[in-house]
Amino acid sequence: MASIEFKHVSKTYPGSKAPVIKDMNLEINDQEFVIFVGPSGCGKSTTLRLIAGLEDISSGDIFIDGVRSNEILPKERDIAMVFQSYALYPNMTVYKNIAFPLKIRKFSQKEIDDRVVTAEALCRKKKLSPEETQKCLKKVSRETRFTKDEIDSKVHAVAKILDLEPLLDRKPKALSGGQRQRVALGRAMVRSPKVFLLDEPLSNLDAKLRTEMRSQIASLHKSLKTTFVYVTHDQTEAMTIADRIVVINNGNIEQFDTPRNLYDFPSNIFVAGFIGSPEMNFLNGQFHIENGKYYILLDEKKIYLPGDIDNKQKEIIQPFDGRDVVLGIRPEAISIIAENTATASEDNVFTIHVELSEFLGAEVYLYFEFAGTHCMARIPSIHRIYTGDDIRISLVPSNIYVFDSKTTNTILYSENSVKHSLEDRSEKLE
Amino acid sequence: MTESRLISNPNTEYQKKSHSKTKRVISNVVIYFILILCTVVFIYPIILVLINSFKKKLYITDSPFTFPNAESFNGIENYAEGLSGSGFWTAALNSVIVTVFSVILILLLTSMAAWYLTRVNTWCSRLIYYAFVFSMLVPFQMVMLPLVGVASKLHLDNVFGVIFIYIGYGAGLSTFLYSGFVKTIPTEIEEAAAIDGCSSIQLFFRIVTPIMKPTTMTVAVLNIMWIWNDYLLPSLVLGTNVTDTTLPVAIQVLNAGRYGDVDIGVLMAMIVLAIIPIILFYLVGQKYIVRGVTAGAVKG
């Protein structure tokens, strides 16, 4: 169990001018499940390798459990890592793979002292004679590695949790993808490390197995009560199992927040586009204030924003009057107005022509052009809408995001996001 | 296009199939004929040596290509005479020492070198690697005369000294084969071992070496065959004193003489004895040669 802290960490690979990680500052709490997501080549795996000590840091510091770990060797960091390819030792059986970290590792002096203390307590409990106690303690203090019996019991305990007991005598080549993945997890679990690092561990599994393993990893985190750092490009994985998610792009942290906050209050266009599937619709327009009403002009269409914006939000958004902004709306936030249904107001209600309708079972994807931009809506399949239909849609003001077109930062809801995020975090800590 | 042209005639199809089958049979016959011919050409000298090793001296020169009959058959007389000759067992021991120690050291040193050179990707490591590869291209005959001088100056002209020369000559191909295999080992396995607590030495011996086993077998088989059979290097460096040299040279020396003086039957018997261990070893290890040489050629 340990916290991890990045202080101004940068990483540039030899022979490359551009840094992969740029001045990263990050704090991962003890026992937290943090997931790094981002597009390919954004630096998420490199970040994980920096924590593991497999890559040298170009500048800055990494603290693991409060200890500066820049120069500490991987084997001395007390971490465990599960690789994308599982990296099982092909020449060893499942038993030997899981037992290997225990066999190879020598105890530190502190560990030996702790074992002596534990043994002393056990002797006292068993009411052994002083001579017997002395003999036992002498034996324990001489042990620099786990005994065969200790290894055996630990391996079987892990195998039982992961349902690997019938496979202990098999070699990795005789295992399926899911079984290999569980062996890799077992090898990581067996020595109870301070931090678990998982580099896209589910990416080689089929969809069904991935869902199963996802919940297994989440329950493992709960039972082990250890810090988990996980890398994936699959946002479903990230959204379902993470306490907090780090969204990385080009070596920069775009946002570090709870899954809920990332979805509801993205800090910029990148996060808004990356989190959520299908992707958010983005439309370029101009922001205007007219008679105390806020709206965005899109190709002569007025899209009204919520009227109940708080003062802080007003302070942020008012300077944008007359300036170019980007309007964002999620496909699932676009609602359909049934035929012959009267609406209280015709604000934000538009008629569109469906260019393509895709039926997916529970829902339907509608593709259409709106204000000169190709957009998409995700609606429940109860609405029977087909390609070529003309339908009325409503853009609910509270579901609209506004981004500064120059900086790409959110200019509406960004303050709320901070507030919400803090509330969410304090709830978690409680 | 008319409908009749679109539908294929079953008779024509059958004729086509039967024609292609005949063609395949003919090509197979030709291929097998060539292969059998090659086998005969390659095995013939060995068979000839084996046949003549059981014949009396005079009959070998008289009718070398015939099988031994009641008159010419000499039993195991030639073998007994060869083995009782002074120096055979010493030379055989020398061959075992040179082969075993050379191969062990070649395996140990080149596997380590190949692993390091492949994993540490700097201009210096690349330069060293290419030097190893280049050494394979230089024919022995080009360097053999200066080598004798160098070996003499460095006092390598003895059974233990020649081991170092063999390491040098075996290093090129062995490093090349090992490097090719190391490239196919995922670095994640080594990284996982480093995180699990392995030092570099432990990582090499506990993880990398067992994974490299197929290539180790290949390198071992190739080097054992080459070093055991080598005649030129020991004859130049170790000289022709039977007790100081290896088996191929000793066989030649023990049976040297003028035309008519040489007991060819004994010579043949000793050659058979010398090649038996290596043939047995080849039969056991030949599957590893193909496997090791092709390892890493195809992405798995």
The yes-or-no verdict on residue B171 having pLDDT over 70 is yes
Torsion sign over Cα B107, B108, B112, B115: positive
SS (H, E, C) B262-285: CCHHHHHHHHHHHHHHHHHHHHHH
Residue of B nearest to A191 (CA): B196
Looking at chain A, the whole-number percentage of residues with pLDDT higher than 90 is 48
Residue of B nearest to A49 (CA): B191
Residue A145 contacts B where some CB pair is shorter than 8 Å: no
Q: How many helices (H) and strands (E) does chain B have?
A: 15, 0
Per-residue pLDDT averaged across B2-20, rounded?
64
Per-residue pLDDT averaged across A10-27, rounded?
90
The continuous run of DSSP H or E covering B65 comes out as none
Residue of B nearest to A54 (CA): B191
Contact at CB, B202 and A54, closer than 8 angstroms: no
Residue of B nearest to A192 (CA): B196
For residues B290 and A197, which has the higher predicted lDDT (pLDDT)?
Answer: A197
Q: Of A104-108, A148-152, A183-187, which gets the smallest average pLDDT?
A: A104-108
The yes-or-no verdict on residue B204 having pLDDT over 90 is yes
Contact at CB, B195 and A74, closer than 8 angstroms: yes
Residue A194 contacts B where some CB pair is shorter than 8 Å: no
Rounded to the nearest integer, the mean pLDDT of chain B is: 85
Q: With contact defined as beta carbons under 8 Å apart, do B300 and B184 qualify?
A: yes
Contacts of B122 in chain A (CB under 8 A): none
* ipTM exceeding the 0.85 mark: no
Residue A227 has what pLDDT? 94
Q: B152 in helix, strand or coil?
A: helix
Looking at the DSSP bridge assignments, the partners of residue A350 are A393
Residue A8 has what pLDDT? 94
Residue B210 contacts A where some CB pair is shorter than 8 Å: yes
Residue B198 contacts A where some CB pair is shorter than 8 Å: yes
The yes-or-no verdict on residue B10 having pLDDT over 80 is no
Residues near A76 by beta carbon (within 8 Å), at least 6 away in sequence? none
Residue B191 contacts A where some CB pair is shorter than 8 Å: yes
Cis preceding-peptide flag for A278 (omega within 30 of 0): yes
Contact at CB, A91 and B195, closer than 8 angstroms: no
Residue of A nearest to B187 (CA): A87
Task: Compute the nearest-CA separation of B202 from chain A (Å).
Answer: 8
The continuous run of DSSP H or E covering A230 comes out as strand A227-232
Residue A99 has what pLDDT? 94
Q: How confident is the model at residue A178 (pLDDT cuts 50, 70, 90)?
A: confident
CA-to-CA distance for A427 and A423, rounded, in angstroms?
6
Rounded to the nearest integer, the mean pLDDT of chain A is: 87
Select from B195, B197, B206 the Cβ nearest to the Cβ of A52. B195
The pLDDT tens digits of the residues spanning A135-144 come to 888 888 777 7
Contacts of B186 in chain A (CB under 8 A): 85, 87
Task: Compute the nearest-CA separation of A152 from chain B (Å).
Answer: 17
Task: Compute the nearest-CA separation of A163 from chain B (Å).
Answer: 22
Contact at CB, A81 and B202, closer than 8 angstroms: no
Residue B10 contacts A where some CB pair is shorter than 8 Å: no
Residue A416 has what pLDDT? 41
Looking at the DSSP bridge assignments, the partners of residue B73 are B55
For residues A374 and A425, which has the higher predicted lDDT (pLDDT)?
Answer: A374
* Number of cross-chain residue pairs from A and B with Cβ atoms under 8 Å apart: 60
Per-residue pLDDT averaged across B187-213, rounded?
92
**Interface probe with A: pick from B123, B195, B208, B212, most Cβ of A within 10 Å:** B195
Task: Compute the nearest-CA separation of B183 from chain A (Å).
Answer: 15
Residues near B152 by beta carbon (within 8 Å), at least 6 away in sequence? none
Residue A46 has what pLDDT? 93
Alpha helices in A279-413 (DSSP H): 311-317
Per-residue pLDDT averaged across A53-63, rounded?
93
Residue A50 contacts B where some CB pair is shorter than 8 Å: no
The pLDDT tens digits of the residues spanning B256-300 come to 766 666 778 888 888 898 888 888 888 887 777 666 555 544 433
Shortest CA distance to A301 belongs to which of A280, A321, A320, A285? A285
Per-residue pLDDT averaged across A106-129, rounded?
81
Residue A205 has what pLDDT? 80
For residue A252, count CB atoms less than 10 angstroms from its CB and return exposed for 0-12, middle for 13-18, buried for 19 or more. middle
Residue B280 has what pLDDT? 86
Residue B291 has what pLDDT? 64
The yes-or-no verdict on residue A282 having pLDDT over 50 is yes
Residue of A nearest to B198 (CA): A104
Q: Of A93-102, A227-236, A297-306, which gets the smallest average pLDDT?
A: A297-306
Q: With contact defined as beta carbons under 8 Å apart, do A15 and A34 qualify?
A: no
Going by DSSP bridges, is the β-strand pair A301-304/A293-298 parallel, antiparallel, or unpaired? Answer: antiparallel
Residue B296 has what pLDDT? 43
Residue of A nearest to B197 (CA): A75
Q: How confident is the model at residue A363 (pLDDT cuts 50, 70, 90)?
A: very high
Residue A121 has what pLDDT? 85
Task: Compute the nearest-CA separation of B215 from chain A (Å).
Answer: 14
Going by DSSP bridges, is the β-strand pair A281-290/A67-68 parallel, antiparallel, or unpaired? Answer: unpaired
For residues A390 and A397, which has the higher predicted lDDT (pLDDT)?
Answer: A390
Shortest CA distance to A203 belongs to which of A44, A2, A33, A362? A44
Residue A413 has what pLDDT? 67
Q: How confident is the model at residue B2 (pLDDT cuts 50, 70, 90)?
A: very low
Contact at CB, A74 and B202, closer than 8 angstroms: no
Contact at CB, A104 and B194, closer than 8 angstroms: no
Residue A72 has what pLDDT? 92
Contacts of A106 in chain B (CB under 8 A): 197
Residue A347 has what pLDDT? 80
Residue B257 contacts A where some CB pair is shorter than 8 Å: no
Q: How confident is the model at residue B218 (pLDDT cuts 50, 70, 90)?
A: confident
For residues B29 and A110, which has the higher predicted lDDT (pLDDT)?
Answer: B29
Shortest CA distance to A403 belongs to which of A270, A304, A301? A270
Residues near A96 by beta carbon (within 8 Å), at least 6 away in sequence? A89
Per-residue pLDDT averaged across A150-163, rounded?
90
